[in-house]
Homo-oligomer: A and B are copies of this chain.
Amino acid sequence: MTDNLFEEMDRLFHPQNMAAVGAADRIGNMGISFLLGYQKCGFQGNLYAVNPKTKAKNFDTYDSVTDIPGPLDEVRVAVSAKFVPDVIRDCVKKGVRCVSIFTSGFRETGTDDGKAMESEIARIARKGGVRLIGPNCMGILCPESGMSIRADMPVMKDGSIGLISQSGGIAISLALACRERELGLSKVVSYGNESDLGAPEFLYYLARDPKTSVICLYIEGTGRAEDLVAALKDAAGKKPVIMVKGGMTDAGSRAATSHTGALTGASEIWNAIARQTGATLVADTEEMLDLAMLFTLKGSPPGKNLGIITISGGFGVIATDLVTKAGFDIPELAGQTQAALEKFIDVPGTSIQNPVDMAAKFFNYQAFPEIFPAFDRDPNIDAFLMICAVEYLTFLSSQADKFATFLVEAMIGAMDAMKKPTYVVLLHTISEDIRLKQERFFIEKGYPVFPTVQRCLTAMNRANRNGQS
């Protein structure tokens, strides 16, 4: 990596102007989608359409990149593959800094023609001092600079999760899933075929980006294994790196080859890479985001001894099994804790053993500020698992939403006085709209929330192991 790579990359994430080659006012046209996306996300610089055949209604349209007056640092390309080499030549002439190529039909086709064309555009760009992202990618999304990868995506929340994805679809899905849970993103990049910039450069950059606190990487394969391993080691030494490797099995590997044309490899190799570099290899994108959420919010790592608080004895029983199988302990509460609790949790149907079953006493919200800190002081417990079966919030059903919000606010008020990590499980039972609203509310206040006990435990276990292997 060159000395000024950080500054070079940082400029790519903060362009002054952008032109979309191939933009046209047609549904499904990606050029216009990039332009409208930038506009929607508040991009401050000039936006140009490039299309010799038709003018875009709301953007200044030029026949070629070289016709654009004034400076231009970013170009997005969405024309047929055969036109791409000439577009890159124009970008070299124009002094463009970075070209993101959406167009597919290169190396990933597996054909000699596709490979040759990809080599050609890489050669033109390298010789001309232009950096390429792609081809076969969505490029960069960056909330702070107003860069977008699709007009129809909502504006993303600014935050600290950095996403690097070889697949465009997965970059989009991960970004949208973050938006759905109100998790903020620092930078997102879909880099596709890696003809020039790839995972090593983006890892290097995000590892040094002060806005990024955790890095998620979806990778299918690479022709630059040594660079990748070095970059993973460097990045994982600076902040958590969570990785999904697509194509871990032989069948998956074949699927990956036809998707991004990447050389993939056996799962043993990738497991070894994770061990060697300190990156955390997880099974799928859900686990990835669960863990990213945990790292960016309060309460990681959890330790081994858990206190479980539930309002449904049955879910407490199931959770106890899952927690134990996942390798955590559920120690008895200290005498002083039991003494403090029995003042409030005292009717038949409740339990002040661990798991603590609050049952109907959960609605005694005035007592939360005494109950929760009493748990927190227990010397036997490292962290807490609050298992909320949201259906209990349907009492007074016409008021369910308000009442749920009221209870969650009371919980958060009391939880804020706790010093130990607290994880919330909001079970998928009723009214997903109410559940999601409460989930976002907890997350906004810094508490990690999971829809199942199992997903919570998987993330907690990985957080405990991070950096220890």
Contact = CB atoms under 8 A, between A and B. Distances in A.
Interface of A: 27-28, 81, 103-105, 108-109, 136, 151-154, 165-170, 172-174, 176-177, 179-180, 218, 220, 244, 246-252, 254-256, 258-260, 283-286, 311-318, 320-325, 330, 348-349, 351, 353, 355, 357, 360, 363, 389, 391-392, 394-397, 400, 427-433, 436, 452-454
| SS of A interface (majority) | helix
Contact of A391 (B173, B252, B324, B432): B173
Contacts of A314: 165-170, 218, 220, 246, 259
Contacts of A260: 313
Contacts of A154: 397
Count chain B CB atoms within 10 A of each CB in A168, A252, A283 and give the residue with the most. A252
Copies of this chain, complex-wide, total: 2
B179 A430 contact: yes
A35 to B, nearest CB: 15
Contact of A396 (B152, B177, B220, B258): B152
Given A152-B396, A353-B258, A315 B170 contact: yes
Contacts of A431: 180
Given A105-B348, A284-B452, A436 B427 contact: no
Given A104-B348, A349-B104, A394-B153, A432 B427 contact: no
A172 B247 CA distance: 41
A104 B433 CA distance: 33
B284 A322 contact: yes
B172 A391 contact: yes
A267 to B, nearest CB: 8
